[in-house]
Structure 1
């Protein structure tokens, strides 16, 4: 194990660990490593959570359907992580009840009951309610459903703002000493003595890249968390072997106006054996997803939902709800490409969602590639990554992220509702929906956004949809947002409810302010 501050050839180390990729796995590794005392650099060629990590179904869940594929280790770990994430990030994540209607021709009762019992117990002790049978004719459950549905089950999982989860991990990493560079791409990596010498280049299309000219850095070890580009990134490393690979699976979602009352979600079984979620979303909407379509490398950067996927999701929901959905009802859609580990399965729904970590060398400076994984298990993945890299890094402090709250997650006693009441008392000029969104987004750090404002006008320019200059400036200066898209769709979801001219007005403000 190397323990000195210099390599044996006498050259100073720039970093102990270079993390390539600003999705949830990369940000999670950077946070964990920085908190253990390592000198860390994270580079992302676009924006944080610009791709897969902002295009999920936004669930913290064990993955009920994965039990059918005997993914018991994955489900157990994910259920345990669900409990931890609710605890360390109570502002951006919260429990949610899921209703599973029992249609004719669906999975048999014994299978559902057995699966739910296992789901309740596999993760050990849980603070969430157990599953139970329900009568779907109860008013709150019947709202919007077709009258013929009478029986079902309800179980617990949780929801999370995926893109904010990434941003907050990166923010905590930075506050613990890590360097975060967005708009910066890795273009080559070669072994120089006992270090990787890595060439970094500003991305030409990225607004305000962190560096303005190519730069070379040295690192003891590298984590390749490039997601759908993991294979491509690994190919840039001189003398690193490639084992395994990724299967690119596109998952698409649609958003429609609110389908039903209540704050519960539905898990709908389809005739093809797949399931579709309907999830309350941003107060006024319902999120529906997801599809599973194996795609090629040409769809990595800008995946788009197809007409067939839209029709599939509309038909799946229309089979259960009185309202017949058509593509005309879709107010927004998004797609992401999931970089799943290539385990040889031919069907997208059967490919493992578990993560695989591969070391690229037997000795000397090391590169660790991350394949697969899911949003829920990012924190544990980071711990496992550092365990594998420990022989190649300086001595580290013990694992710590299972207890420490993410930025804003240290809410005062009383839970979120009590916290929200305090926000409304301190800033009484806020409308309740806006106060709720801000309280969820920033938690205990909401004062960093609102400051000493005593009126809405004190927050600067009003961009519409509840977004003000004060919030936009905070997101640029603190959370690396560099474009209107990053602010409206990743750091917040204001894009769903703002005026059509808001993106351009925001882009103009960024340019005038020298922030874009």
Structure 2
């Protein structure tokens, strides 16, 4: 058997990828294993926001909101190609929270996180354009505040890629089927579909998401208390409901909120739900009741009514939240909790809860719990492709720097590349005077060179990995285009 790894990370979602990246950057030998694709489950099924969580203030989660708002600025600096600012409009509904309470909450939201990069809250008149034509007439006043959008699955992939470039071993489609402590080491049995292998590690980070309890029981060979509360969240994607880049956040009569967000230029993203989940996390889909709930929530506000049959697509995910005995799924904390078991030798750290926005701090705290040496380093380290020039703030501003490639690749494709790959797009298109060969066009706007990059560099193995996680091309291509990409990977 080969030399033991310092750290085995089990789970290729945002928390596992973040821990692997931080540990590799501190000089540890790291192995990350994921039974499916990176971000195949919870981490690609979010509302795709880097945000403080405005509604968490009602549950007095001040520490979580503060940390989240601080991280919002750190992530925006380090990944400007896949994270960008958005303005959210919160209408005041006279039958729900009073206006003074909304304003107080937004005042706290503006100030407790040390906001520097984003504009502050302001009042808006909803009877004036553009809101007057989008919202129902009874809505007269609202507030506009800042948060950020994130390409969630790409955030996971880029963390894993950075970990790999710092020496980590990243193995997708590799399941940990056995885990046993042998003194100062863990011995793990891994199955990659072609057979079983064994590796050893000095420490284990259990970031298996909905399967974290299951893995912990397997490792300790005893029943352990259930720490997870699985909560399903679902979203609908409908044709674009309005022009403009602003988003809406709507209050519901049940105390929850619902987002309506411009999505992929041609669509609007609606969601989310919060309901208890007790099935198989591998098999999670939106229910008819959830679709009806989302539509009813937004229809309370929108002048143009939305129906479940309008949806062009949907997605659902299971949030592995820490069981805190809250009365409802909506009230369960989104904060993260660790459990470290080091009785009898090598430690195993299990991660419960957490949210995309706080993954970087979660990774720092996880390594602190494992007593890993080295200084935290990720706060000022751009993710791959995020090393923008000082005078450029986002991918749209970056794209004109590659205007020399418009004729070959098409301007729309270069803009898509700048949003997805940032400065790494030169690994696909080449450089000025040394432009890369596109290879054959596999689907409209998708050339073989990009697919090779996604396969060889970004761990993609199937058409689905590309169409729905490395990108959202699945929304823009017809069935023939989607099938062509799937066949390319199968060839």
* Deviation per residue, 1:462-508 (Å, 9 max, x gap): 23352221111110111111111001000010000101122322222
Deviation at 1:420, TM superposition (A): 1.5
Q: What is the CA–CA distance in structure 2 between the aligned matches of 1:507 and 1:153, rounded to whole Å?
A: 45
RMSD: 1.9
Of 248, 265, 268, the match for 1:266: 248
Q: Determine if contact 1:13/1:220 at 8 Å carries over to the other structure.
A: no
Deviation at 1:23, TM superposition (A): 0.2
Of 347, 351, 365, the match for 1:384: 365
Deviation at 1:113, TM superposition (A): 1.0
Q: Determine if contact 1:240/1:360 at 8 Å carries over to the other structure.
A: no
1:49 is the counterpart of 2:39: yes
Q: Determine if contact 2:429/2:436 at 8 Å carries over to the other structure.
A: no
Q: What is the CA–CA distance in structure 1 between the aligned matches of 2:47 and 2:184, rounded to whole Å?
A: 42
1:186 alignment counterpart: 176
Q: Determine if contact 1:97/1:265 at 8 Å carries over to the other structure.
A: yes
Partner secondary structure for residue 113 of structure 1: helix
CA separation of 1:125/1:317 partners in 2, compared to 1, >3 Å: closer, same or farther? closer
Structure 1: stretches of 5+ with no match in the other structure: 1-10, 204-211
Q: What is the CA–CA distance in structure 1 between the aligned matches of 2:58 and 2:370, rounded to whole Å?
A: 33
Partner secondary structure for residue 255 of structure 1: strand
1:322 alignment counterpart: 303
1:482 is the counterpart of 2:464: no
Number of residue pairs aligned between Structure 1 and Structure 2: 489
Q: What is the CA–CA distance in structure 2 between the aligned matches of 1:457 and 1:419, rounded to whole Å?
A: 19
1:5 alignment counterpart: none
Partner secondary structure for residue 385 of structure 1: helix
CA separation of 1:452/1:86 partners in 2, compared to 1, >3 Å: closer, same or farther? closer
CA separation of 1:348/1:36 partners in 2, compared to 1, >3 Å: closer, same or farther? same
Runs of 4+ in 1 over 6 A off after TM superposition: 453-457
Deviation at 1:240, TM superposition (A): 7.4
* Deviation per residue, 1:33-64 (Å, 9 max, x gap): 00000000000000000000000000000000
1:35 is the counterpart of 2:19: no
* Deviation per residue, 1:53-104 (Å, 9 max, x gap): 0000000000000000011110000000001000000000011110001122
1:469 is the counterpart of 2:451: no
* Deviation per residue, 1:173-224 (Å, 9 max, x gap): 0000000001111111112231011111124xxxxxxxx3211111000000
Q: What is the CA–CA distance in structure 2 between the aligned matches of 1:333 and 1:456, rounded to whole Å?
A: 38
Deviation at 1:456, TM superposition (A): 11
1:331 alignment counterpart: 312
1:124 alignment counterpart: 114
Of 81, 100, 106, the match for 1:91: 81
Q: Determine if contact 2:175/2:192 at 8 Å carries over to the other structure.
A: yes
2:439 alignment counterpart: 460
1:178-327 matches, cutoff 5 A: 178-203=168-193, 212-238=194-220, 242=224, 245-296=227-278, 298-327=279-308
1:435-514 matches, cutoff 5 A: 435-451=414-430, 458-512=437-491
